Amino acid sequence: SSSSTASFAAASNRVAPSTKAAKSVGDIRKLKLITAVKTPYLEDGRFDFEAYDRIVDDQIAHGVEGLIVGGTTGEGHLMSWDEHIMLIAHTVNQFGDRLTVIGNTGSNSTREALHATEQGFNVGMHASLQINPYYGKTSNKGMAAHLKAGLAEGPGIVYNVPARTSQDIPDEVIEELSQHENFLGVKECTGNDRIANYTKKGIVCWSGNDDEAHDARHIAGAAGVISVTSNVIPGLFSSLMDARDDELNEAVQPLVSWMFREPNPTGLNTMLSMMGACKPVFRMPYMAYDKEWREEGVQLLEALGGDAVAPSVRSLSSLDDDDFTYVYSSR
């Protein structure tokens, strides 16, 4: 596998501006803990930058090394592209010297993916996350061409999540892409067997499943995790990625399980609202967990040690139903 790995070290073919703080492909491949960061909102649905900056500061303080900005977790699919690029630019400007900024600038439309990825690199993001065409789907030939076009803009991670896209990226497509000089690796959500298989071939993987991430890293050979739960317990996830700790891994599972009872980021949005890390404002179609589940969530977080593990906790509360605001429209 050394020969295919060799090409990974090649220089980027990115023609866009070299940013002051560009990260090398090699450095990005070593990131262990990347958070798919929450996007917090004001009551009118605009971004709450004050909450965002506080969240990111806490992330950095507790060992997070990179961020996916506007991922599915961060609800990039609920943003206009100018909002999305604005958030990437803001993150680069405020935090780009302290962690790696990865913009989720893929799309099921090749045109949109290229537009957003180009803009993201122009405002200084370090890497992109590229998705295969969800919903519209396409042939394997079309999928490979789509993903290659995204990679041509700059260093990129390919994201395989058939439970969202309805279409798996086959091994042969990943192997073909892995020859691209801008290919960083795969965010893989189909399990640790596949991660182990890719890793053997020299293809860098990040687990996309919080429940399997510890084993992915310490058994299956993943570089690390692109995590949702690390929004809540960044310090514990940092520990889980740093060294094998089966006991800790077991201890966090009940919380992880709670987070994904409904499609992400339903649980995350609920939890961060309860922690006071953000206002309890949801862009539709996401709606908070019901009261009963919220109370369980509070208990699960408290069981893990409260403030110590959840640095953004300002006032842990299960809240009332009418504390939540649901934003349907940008008007």
- The reply on whether position 111 binds a copy of itself by CB under 8 A is yes
Nearer Cβ to a copy of itself (108/299): 108
Nearest Cα to Cα of residue 36 among 236, 229, 228: 228
Structure tokens that stand for 239 in this block? 């520990």
The least distance separating a copy of itself from the CB of residue 324, rounded to whole angstroms, comes to 12
* CA nearest neighbour of 230 among 91, 49, 37: 37
* Cβ at position 35, least distance to a copy of itself in Å: 18
Q: Minimum distance from CB of 148 to a copy of itself (Å)?
A: 10
Q: Are 122 and 98 in contact (CB under 8 A)?
A: no
Interaction between residue 94 and a copy of itself (CB under 8 A):
yes
Q: Is 108 in the site for a copy of itself (CB under 8 A)?
A: yes
Options 27, 44, 171, 242; binder of a copy of itself; rule CB under 8 A: 44
Taking CB under 8 A as the rule, does residue 253 contact a copy of itself? Answer: no
Binding status of residue 262 toward a copy of itself by CB under 8 A: yes
Is residue 146 a contact residue for a copy of itself (CB under 8 A)?
yes
The SS3 assignment for 130 reads: strand
**Catalytic residue (choose from 23, 32, 38, 187):** 187
Q: How many chain residues interact with a copy of itself (CB under 8 A)? A: 69
Dihedral sign from CA coordinates of 226, 241, 246, 62:
negative
- What is the smallest separation between the CB atom of 47 and a copy of itself, expressed in angstroms? 8
Are 120 and 85 within 8 A, CB to CB?
A: yes
Q: Which is nearer to a copy of itself, 3 or 329 (CB)?
A: 329
* In contact, 9 and 25? CB cutoff 8 Å: yes
From 159, 198, 286, 289, active-site residue: 159
Alpha-carbon distance 61 to 95, whole Å? 12
Residues ≥6 apart with Cβ < 8 Å to 159: 106, 129, 130, 131, 132, 186, 187, 208
**Minimal CA–CA distance to 32: which of 205, 248, 247?**
205
* Burial grade of 9 (CB within 10 A; 0-12, 13-18, 19 or more): exposed
Assess 86 for contact with a copy of itself (CB under 8 A). yes
Instruction: Collect all residues with Cβ–Cβ distance below 8 Å to 107 and sequence separation of at least 6.
Output: 113, 116, 131
Q: Is 17 an interacting residue with respect to a copy of itself (CB under 8 A)? A: yes
Distance from C-alpha of 240 to C-alpha of 252, rounded to nearest angstrom? 10
Q: Is 134 in the site for a copy of itself (CB under 8 A)?
A: yes
**330 near a copy of itself, judged by CB under 8 A:** yes
Neighbours of 171 (CB within 10 A): 13
Which span sits near a copy of itself by CB under 8 A: 143-151, 185-193, 243-251, 314-322? 143-151
- Closest CB to a copy of itself among 29 and 84? 84
Known catalytic membership, residue 187: yes
* 129 bridge partner residues: 157
The reply on whether position 292 binds a copy of itself by CB under 8 A is no
Stretch 158-197 residues interacting with a copy of itself (CB under 8 A) = 162-167
Do residues 258 and 16 touch, judged by C-beta distance below 8 A?
no
Other beta carbons within 10 Å of 200: 11
Out of 92, 277, 278, 319, name the contact with a copy of itself by CB under 8 A.
92
122: helix, coil or strand? helix
* Residue 11 touching a copy of itself (CB under 8 A): no
Catalytic sites, residue numbers: 159, 187
Per CB under 8 A, residues contacting a copy of itself are: 16-17, 19-20, 44-47, 49-50, 52-53, 72, 75, 77-78, 81-82, 85-86, 89-90, 92-94, 96, 108-111, 114-115, 119, 122-124, 133-139, 141-143, 145-146, 149, 162-167, 262-263, 266, 283-287, 326-331
